Amino acid sequence: MKTIPFYSMRITDSFWSERQQTVRDTTVWAVYDRFYETGRIPTLDCSWQEGQPNKPHHFWGSDVFKWVEGAAYIMESHPNEKLREAVDDIICRIAKGIRENGYYNSFYNTLNLPIYTKRDDHELYSLGHMIEAGIAWAHATGDDRLLQMACRGADHADKVFRQEDSAGFDTPGHEEIELALMRLYHYTGNDRYLALARHFIDLRGCGRKDTPNDRNKTDEKYTQFHLPVREQREAVGHAVRAVYLYCAMADLALESRDTALLEAIEGIFTNIYEKKMYITGGIGSLYAGETFSAAYHLPNQKAYAETCAALGFALFCRRLLSIRPDSRYADAAERALYNGMLSGLSLDGKAFFYINPLEMDLAACDIPYERHHAPQRQEVFSCSCCPPNLVRLIPAIGDFVYTCEEDTLFVHQYIANEAHFDDCTATIQGNYPYNGHLHISCPGKRLALRRPGWCSHYTASAPCTEKDGYLYFACDSVEIDFDMPPIFLTAASDVHADQGRVAVMRGPLVYCAEELDQPADIFRCRIDPDAPVTETADTIAGFPILEASGHTVPAQNALYIPYRKMPPAPCRLRLIPYFTFANRGKSNMQTWILTV
Amino acid sequence: MKTIPFYSMRITDSFWSERQQTVRDTTVWAVYDRFYETGRIPTLDCSWQEGQPNKPHHFWGSDVFKWVEGAAYIMESHPNEKLREAVDDIICRIAKGIRENGYYNSFYNTLNLPIYTKRDDHELYSLGHMIEAGIAWAHATGDDRLLQMACRGADHADKVFRQEDSAGFDTPGHEEIELALMRLYHYTGNDRYLALARHFIDLRGCGRKDTPNDRNKTDEKYTQFHLPVREQREAVGHAVRAVYLYCAMADLALESRDTALLEAIEGIFTNIYEKKMYITGGIGSLYAGETFSAAYHLPNQKAYAETCAALGFALFCRRLLSIRPDSRYADAAERALYNGMLSGLSLDGKAFFYINPLEMDLAACDIPYERHHAPQRQEVFSCSCCPPNLVRLIPAIGDFVYTCEEDTLFVHQYIANEAHFDDCTATIQGNYPYNGHLHISCPGKRLALRRPGWCSHYTASAPCTEKDGYLYFACDSVEIDFDMPPIFLTAASDVHADQGRVAVMRGPLVYCAEELDQPADIFRCRIDPDAPVTETADTIAGFPILEASGHTVPAQNALYIPYRKMPPAPCRLRLIPYFTFANRGKSNMQTWILTV
């Protein structure tokens, strides 16, 4: 299946256009400024000296590369001299810092340390992001200086890891190089990069030189080398590392028609989808090590659900859709994109969540001795992968919309756009996810439209048959209306954190209740899932604030007292899209709400 | 107020007699054997050499001292040659290992390290337990060899800390020495020990030499030296360290009529009692550092609630009762003794919980990267304070029963016994906590009986007046019947973990529901607090298993699906005393149960 790249289309979708404009106008510069101030950009030339502030860190380069990739995607549709100058400055600094042999890492080169000896030091991870940035910048601007340097780095890595086998480890502690090499292979057509990607993927879990990472994460699952990748069926360990690996496995499976690899990624996807995914599409529920937890262990207040993990999960799902249309993949991507990823960015585009809790308990933010979620999005964090990851994903959101197979155009995400490819023009018109009414056409192609998992009823302008969650039409133009009433959801019995509770969705958006909208402390509110949810006239981010029926239970000050039957006090509970929470000041919040 | 010591009484109480016999026959030897096998006892002579197994640890001595103290308490009522020989062997080993100057710590002496330089190394903590063991053994047997060695250690500490001020720190990182010195002062009458106790108490939080501990617990609250003790009002930091300090503060407050100290401990008690105590009397809810958490943060599944902390809290409450009768103190002690402490010991007396969760989720025991509760009590643990702490507390349970002030005998705990003191004989007859019917007499004294906090109705054979939770009678013999129906309880609104849930108590016993007794997965059970709880004919540990009405919700396998109104399936839920859980194999368990 062929993917239609985002740069083939003009996004007309009001929802994503607005997010893209925010990233373009605000986020990209907010992140740039933080990266400049914190030394990430100035130290790229590797001239930092002991005693100066802002000593480079081994993953600082990767933050900047992700940002450059985002800048490139913005340039695709909105060329901009200021961005060009900023990236030019970055490229010139890198050119000063790169080693003769093509190796580049601002920390290693600045300190002139022996390279490729520490498995957990993100050297190949950084190279992977350098490759992605180089490709993106070259494609967007024709300037291939960064790409050439990245290729030199990849050639050097190929020599060290594959030809000479002289590195201190076989496979990196943080995956990313694998998917980047697949991409470099596709961009350049050079088989060496495919061979090196395959080398890293095939050697993982094969017990040659690799040993568990340090920092108390002393097991093999943490970096997914407990088993050869083709034998893996469960999502384990550090969630972002995991999904980046799974992306590369999918790329290689598709490239090589490798059925063993395909079975592995399908098994892993199903494991996440059925047992390890928050309703928001967030993954990686454990604070400890930012890892996948046991099946169904999805705590709400202590959800980790890193922004990058939700984003990476969406990237994995997108790759699966290139292999085979299955609406579970697109449903999961939709969950993550509209909820657990987007919650990482403030509405004004300036601040970020790294951790995306499903319940906000401000009192818990003060708990001593334990890490806890931030009460509000922050403008800076020291481990700063999430902000530039958003900068590179949102401008490229169009990548998620279509795939094409011979005469059939598959529509996975209902993001309004006009796309041009293979002498065709595909168009999606509509106002999703504000409503589910869409007009989709692609003259000359038959349409296959995903029926969203949240949708129990739709009306279409033409007859269709359904397979694996896709509605197959014989025609090239369809009007379809996915009914989008607010619905209540329950979680599997084994998700102990959600027992006695319901969540609300409307279309792809998960809703939540912020205390500042309620008549009482949110922990004293109960929701009635047998009463209808209605739309109010108030909106947030363009969406109507919803109202559910419920009641509040009386406040109790004494720690433990005999139960007394109390008349419930009926109330209306107001619900907002999850991705918009914590944008109106500090407030307690719940996504899963106790029922009456 | 005068305390009547346990060795003045013969326990006739069927509940505690049984526990005492188990400790005497089984637990004391189970712990001894583990301590021998793990090297704690053999290395006491400080002859361990590099290369041998079982290198001593700086707190190993303290484990053995607690055990000796327990052995001594058993000897008070049940002299026993085998115990005497075991303790004799221990004393002889210590005599070989003690330094010329009186300093004893098997780790420091074996390795011949510089002493009193590391605040967190439990040296004074171990000395404190040596003192308590020495006093107990001397009182029980007349053999004062251990006591003499402990006094030499205390004299040496006095020289180093108080006279020379030459130690590397002012106050120990783990409290215990303070209460031991108070006890040594009372036993020997030597003012030097009072002065040293006061020295350690007064210097805490006064910002001279003390610095935060290592091991990432880098704040002053962790070891309660964030403020001078008289300014403290909140229970903070490591829970066991905290309550041992509070015990000593109470001892000193009583000794010195120090009202500032008294206000501090009353404030701290109230803080625990109103905001930081589990319904089981367990305290210290955080795994991280075994610490008190924020007010009302009382997670159920992730309760830490260490056995030693509940036990230490009971010891603190007992001291408060020596100052002033207030039924909150005795209620709290009762909660801890019958629930959160006793749950630490298996019914067969051989195995122990260090962590006492209020909800057992077996699936969660497998969660990677995170510490979690054990699914069953264990026979050995490396940090082994709790087992010998039970060995010393249970034989001395009588300490909790009475205090006496002039012509009034206060009864705090309803443990049947016959006590002889001051030419008086006090008797409690009854079958508490199986039922609440008691006959209490003490010819020549007026009786003041605690009205238990759980009791809303009672009948007494004589008129009385109530003050601070005590029923004051003019007579010296009373029959009283505390109604003991099962009741439902709710928790304060700010205890977010318990919202929508109720717990069940019957008398002082908290009940819980083990999955193995239920018709379904416990997480799918809902309890009806408006229906009566009845007694079944089945028993556990002599207590009737209770039955409540409720229903089960249908199992749901899919991770997230639209809510459907389902007819509830009525069921009966069976409840057992919390302290008996996890004695019939592995099972999920809940103390706070969702309501229908």
Q: B313 CA to chain A: closest CA distance, Å?
A: 17
Identify the burial level of A492 via C-beta atoms within 10 angstroms of its C-beta, where 0-12 means exposed, 13-18 middle and 19 or more buried. Answer: buried
- Which chain B residue's Cα is nearest to A487? B562
DSSP string of B465-529?
EEETTEEEESSSEEEEEE---EEEEEE-TT-GGGTTEEEEEETTEEEEEEGGGSSS-GGGEEE-T
Cβ separation of A559 and B495 shorter than 8 Å? yes
pLDDT of residue A263: 98
**Closest by CA position to B95, among listed B146, B140, B33, B50:** B146
pLDDT tens string A393-428: 999 999 999 999 999 999 999 999 999 999 999 999
Mean model confidence pLDDT for chain B:
96
pLDDT of residue A90: 98
- Which chain A residue's Cα is nearest to B297? A364
**Closest by CA position to A234, among listed B362, B366, B523:** B366
The label of the residue with tokens 């094409």 reads A404
Mutate to test the interface with B, among A366, A455, A494, A559 (most CBs of B within 10 A): A559
Q: What's the CA gap between A382 and A385, in Å, rounded? A: 9
**Closest by CA position to A338, among listed A109, A19, A585, A554:** A19
pLDDT of residue B211: 79
Rounded mean pLDDT, B214-220: 61
Rounded mean pLDDT, B242-249: 98
* Overall residue count recorded for chain B in this entry: 596
B10 Ramachandran zone, left/alpha/beta (phi>0; psi -120 to 50): beta
Q: A565: which chain B residues are within 8 Å (Cβ-Cβ)?
A: 529-530
**Closest by CA position to B276, among listed B249, B260, B299, B302:** B299
**Closest by CA position to A418, among listed A129, A99, A9, A4:** A9
pLDDT tens string A541-576: 999 999 999 999 999 999 999 999 988 899 999 999
pLDDT tens string B458-503: 999 999 999 999 999 999 999 999 999 999 999 999 999 999 999 9
Backbone angles phi, psi at B111, to 5 degrees: -90, -5
- Which chain A residue's Cα is nearest to B529? A563
The label of the residue with tokens 């017990």 reads A207
pLDDT of residue B42: 96
Q: Is the pLDDT of residue A215 over 50?
A: no
Q: What's the CA gap between A581 and A361, in Å, rounded? A: 13
Closest CB to B490 among A221, A494, A556:
A556
Q: Is the pLDDT of residue B216 over 80?
A: no
pLDDT of residue B269: 98
| Residue A550 · residue A572 · CB < 8 Å | yes
- Please state, for a pLDDT cut of 90, what percent of chain B lies above it: 94
| Residue A222 · residue A238 · CB < 8 Å | yes
Q: A17 CA to chain B: closest CA distance, Å?
A: 30
pLDDT tens string B334-352: 999 999 999 999 999 999 9
Q: At what angle do helices A123-141 and A81-97 cross, to 10 degrees?
A: 140
Q: Is the pLDDT of residue A381 over 80?
A: no
Cβ separation of B221 and A368 shorter than 8 Å? yes
Cβ separation of A563 and B487 shorter than 8 Å? yes
Cβ separation of B561 and A521 shorter than 8 Å? no
pLDDT of residue B1: 86
Cβ separation of A488 and B275 shorter than 8 Å? no
Higher-scoring residue by pLDDT: A333, A218: A333
pLDDT of residue A200: 98
Cβ separation of B556 and A488 shorter than 8 Å? no
Complex confidence, ipTM: 0.96
Cβ separation of B493 and A555 shorter than 8 Å? yes
Backbone angles phi, psi at B504, to 5 degrees: -120, 135
CA separation (Å) from B428 to A121, B11, B13, B205, B329? 69, 9, 9, 44, 20
pLDDT of residue A365: 86
Rounded mean pLDDT, B247-256: 97
Q: Determine the 3-state secondary structure of A7 from DSSP.
A: helix
pLDDT tens string B177-193: 999 999 999 999 999 99
Rounded mean pLDDT, A47-68: 95
Percentages helix, strand, coil for chain A, rounded to the nearest 5? Answer: 40, 20, 40
Q: What's the CA gap between A277 and A324, in Å, rounded? A: 21
Higher-scoring residue by pLDDT: B285, B373: B285
Q: Determine the 3-state secondary structure of A218 from DSSP.
A: coil
Q: What's the CA gap between A320 and A316, in Å, rounded? A: 6
Q: B555: which chain A residues are within 8 Å (Cβ-Cβ)?
A: 493
| Residue A138 · residue A147 · CB < 8 Å | yes
**Closest by CA position to A336, among listed A321, A314, A319:** A314
Q: A500: which chain B residues are within 8 Å (Cβ-Cβ)?
A: 500, 526, 594
Q: B553: which chain A residues are within 8 Å (Cβ-Cβ)?
A: 493, 499
Q: Is the pLDDT of residue A369 over 90?
A: no
**Closest by CA position to B239, among listed B222, B215, B263:** B222
Q: A296: which chain B residues are within 8 Å (Cβ-Cβ)?
A: 363
Rounded mean pLDDT, A8-23: 97
Sign of CA dihedral B569, B572, B578, B579: negative
pLDDT of residue A368: 82
Cβ separation of A561 and B489 shorter than 8 Å? yes
pLDDT tens string A61-99: 999 999 999 999 999 999 999 999 999 999 999 999 999
Mean model confidence pLDDT for chain A:
96
> pLDDT category, B558, cuts 50, 70, 90?
very high
Cβ separation of B456 and A363 shorter than 8 Å? no
Closest CB to A370 among B236, B286, B496:
B286
pLDDT of residue A380: 73
